[in-house]
Structure 1
Amino acid sequence: MSGGVRIALVLPDLLGTYGDRGNVLVLERRLHWRGIPSETVTVLSSSESVPESCDLYLLGGGEDVAQTAAMRVLSRSPGLQRAAGRGVPVLGICGGLQVLGAEFVTGDGARHAGLGLVDAVTEPAADRAIGEVTAECLLAGVGMLTGFENHLGRTRLGPGAMPLGRVTRGIGNGPGRAEGAVHGHVVCTYLHGPVLARNPALADLLLEWAVGAPLQPIAEPAELAALRMERTRVRARNPK
Structure 2
Amino acid sequence: MRVLVLGHGKTGKLVAEVAAERGHSVHVLDAKENPNASALTPPFVAGFDVVIDFTAPEAVVQNMRAVLATGARMVVGTTGWYHRLADARGLVERKEAGLVYGTNFSVGVQVMLQMAKRMGELLKNAGYEFSIEETHHVTKLDSPSGTALTLANVVKSAAGLAEVPIKAHRMGDAAGLHVLQAKSAADKLVLTHEAHSRRGFAEGAVRAAEWLSTRKGCYDFQEIYTQM
**TM bracket, shorter-chain basis:** 0.3 to 0.5
Larger radius of gyration: 2
Higher helix share: 2
Q: TM-score, normalised by structure 2?
A: 0.40
Q: Which has the higher contact order (CA 8 A, sep 6+)?
A: 2
Q: TM-score, normalised by structure 1?
A: 0.39
Higher strand share: 1
